[in-house]
């Protein structure tokens, strides 16, 4: 038997820990640093690469890296140097997410569909460029900004403000030393996530995230306010296009450039006239997409993680998925993604039905009580025989959970119903 170490503290890491603990091949699942809902928490932060690798070595752990920051810091390379089994992309491969500029240039030179763009480190030049265009733009910070470094603009004035926010005011710190100004392409957004072993990529179930803080996709971007799986917008024909034109092409192009991509490859896709374009790459499972996706998994995820690390995905049987829909409603602290209150006691966890799981994110456990400890606090994730019933199931439980400054969107999954 082997132990597993899941690195991270969010809802994604709780969902991965929960799923991996169901494997008959896994003895104990540790989570570092974990949260108020995860078990066997280890008090080591995600940026303590030596501490994490020491723990994995001492406890015979196969390690899964959840969030992007330790991947960008080179945690996988550190583990590999010590001969430790670890799931996730190398620091070099992580550039697909850690530098949006690197990723855009990679897509351009490898003919992977994405929006037109220019790169700037000078605010005035960026503003002059915006003035010269006949279309609206999206302004993006180059580096990691916890899912918030992308500003979608409806006018030149909004674009100028975004340029000032990122490049001049340095709202996202050094992540905004350079920016991308790219053509805003409109359509339907979806998440396409695949498991890769450096040679091939196996698609996960399709899903759709809800990025904006308010209903009807209003307000600033967040890390994600809810998600559902599967999404009807990606039918078999479109899935084949995305797999061949984007996912497979990305893995092969990385290999051609001397980079083996192992781990989750997440393409944020915009679909316009049934043609997919890449908005951005992530190099880890999405959060909150992970929650409904793991709820629908009907296979041993641990086996596939091992096969990914060993370069043996081609020898694995096809993945199988529950026919049900799954919906995750994120319960957040009011004020997120700006400032919010912490340390409020949360109630309402009693008598949660079997087809619903409450994944913890920004929580901590003190003296047996669960307290809020972040912007996105919980992810109420429900199965249902239809998308509509999954939505009803999720909100029924979400409404029973309470704390003083609880907030959630009321329209998670409604887009999906509109495609039916």
Q: Higher model confidence: residue 31 or residue 220?
A: 31
H, E, C per residue of 255-291:
HHCCCCCEEEEEEEEEEECCEEEEEEEECCCCCCCHH
* Maximum alpha-carbon separation in the chain: 62
**Burial zone of 134 (CB within 10 Å; 0-12 exposed, 13-18 middle, 19+ buried):** exposed
Q: Higher model confidence: residue 406 or residue 274?
A: 406
Regarding beta strands 117-120 and 137-141, do their DSSP bridges make them parallel or antiparallel, or are they unpaired? unpaired
Does the bond joining 172 to the residue before it have cis omega, within 30 degrees of 0? no
pLDDT tens digit string along 372-392?
999 999 999 999 999 999 999
pLDDT tens digit string along 177-213?
999 999 999 998 888 999 999 999 999 999 999 999 9
Q: What percent of the chain has pLDDT over 70?
A: 100
**Number of other CB atoms surrounding residue 178 within 10 Å:** 20
Residues 27-52: b if buried by 16+ CB within 10 A, e if exposed: eebbbbbbbbbbebbbebebebbeeb
pLDDT at 145: 86
pLDDT at 352: 93
Evaluate whether 109 touches 69 at the Cβ level (below 8 Å). no
**Number of other CB atoms surrounding residue 284 within 10 Å:** 25
pLDDT at 147: 72
Q: What percent of the chain has pLDDT over 90?
A: 94
pLDDT at 190: 87
Angle at CA of residue 228, ends 217 and 399, nearest 5° = 80
> Residue 407: which pLDDT band, with cuts at 50, 70 and 90?
very high
Residues 314-336: b if buried by 16+ CB within 10 A, e if exposed: eebeeeebeebbbbbbbbbbeeb
Evaluate whether 247 touches 192 at the Cβ level (below 8 Å). yes
> Residue 224: which pLDDT band, with cuts at 50, 70 and 90?
very high
pLDDT tens digit string along 72-102?
999 999 999 999 999 999 999 999 999 999 9
Please list the residues that pair with 150 across neighbouring strands.
140
**Which whole number is the average pLDDT over 320-344?**
97
Length of the chain: 420
**Taking 80 as the threshold, does the pLDDT of residue 273 lie above it?**
yes
DSSP conformation letters of 295-362: HHB-S-HHHHHHHHHHT-GGGSPPP-B-SSEEEEEEEEETTTTS------B-B--SS--TTEEEEESS
Q: pTM higher than 0.85 for the full model?
A: yes
Evaluate whether 79 touches 63 at the Cβ level (below 8 Å). yes
Compute φ and ψ for 299, nearest 5 degrees: -150, 170
pLDDT tens digit string along 52-74?
999 999 999 999 999 999 999 99
Closest CA to 416 of 392, 388, 396: 388
| Domains identified in the chain and CATH numbers | 2-88 (3.40.50.20), 116-183 (3.30.1490.20), 188-315 (3.30.470.20), 325-419 (3.90.600.10)
């Amino acid at each position: 038997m082997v132990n597993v170490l899941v690195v991270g503290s969010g809802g994604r890491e709780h969902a991965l820990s929960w799923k991996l603990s169901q494997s008959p091949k896994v003895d104990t699942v540790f989570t570092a640093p974990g949260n108020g809902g995860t078990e066997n928490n280890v008090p080591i932060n995600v940026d303590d690469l030596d501490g994490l690798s020491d723990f994995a070595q001492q406890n015979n752990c196969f390690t899964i890296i959840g969030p992007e920051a330790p991947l960008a810091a080179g945690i996988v390379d550190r583990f590999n140097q010590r001969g430790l089994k670890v799931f996730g992309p190398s620091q070099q491969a992580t550039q697909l997410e850690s530098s949006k500029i690197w990723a855009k240039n990679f897509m351009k030179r490898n003919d992977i569909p994405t929006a037109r763009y220019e790169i700037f480190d000078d605010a005035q030049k960026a503003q002059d460029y915006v003035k010269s265009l006949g279309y609206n733009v999206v302004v993006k910070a180059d580096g990691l900004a916890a899912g918030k470094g992308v500003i979608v603009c409806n006018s030149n004035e909004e674009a100028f403000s975004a340029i000032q926010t990122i490049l001049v005011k340095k709202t996202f710190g050094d992540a905004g030393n350079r920016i991308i100004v790219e053509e805003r392409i409109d359509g339907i957004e979806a998440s396409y996530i695949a498991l890769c072993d450096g040679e091939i990529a196996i698609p996960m179930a399709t899903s759709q995230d809800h990025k904006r803080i308010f209903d009807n996709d209003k307000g600033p971007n967040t890390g994600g306010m809810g998600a559902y799986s599967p999404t009807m917008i990606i039918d078999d024909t479109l899935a084949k296009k995305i797999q061949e034109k984007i996912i497979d092409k990305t893995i092969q192009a990385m290999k051609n450039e001397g980079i083996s991509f192992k781990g989750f490859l997440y393409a944020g896709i915009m679909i316009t006239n049934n043609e997919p374009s890449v908005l951005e790459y992530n190099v880890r499972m999405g959060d909150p997409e992970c929650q409904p996706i793991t709820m629908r998994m009907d296979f041993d995820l641990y086996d596939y993680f091992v096969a990914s690390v060993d370069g043996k995905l081609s020898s694995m049987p096809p993945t199988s998925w529950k026919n049900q829909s799954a919906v995750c409603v994120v319960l957040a602290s009011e004020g997120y993604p700006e400032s919010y209150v912490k340390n409020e006691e949360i109630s309402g966890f009693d008598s949660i039905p079997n087809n619903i799981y409450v994944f913890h994110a920004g929580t901590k456990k003190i003296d047996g009580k669960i307290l809020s400890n972040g912007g996105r606090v919980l992810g109420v994730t429900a199965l249902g025989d239809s998308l509509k019933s999954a939505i009803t199931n999720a909100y029924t439980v979400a409404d029973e959970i309470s704390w003083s400054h609880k907030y959630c969107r009321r329209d998670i999954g409604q887009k999906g119903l509109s495609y039916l």
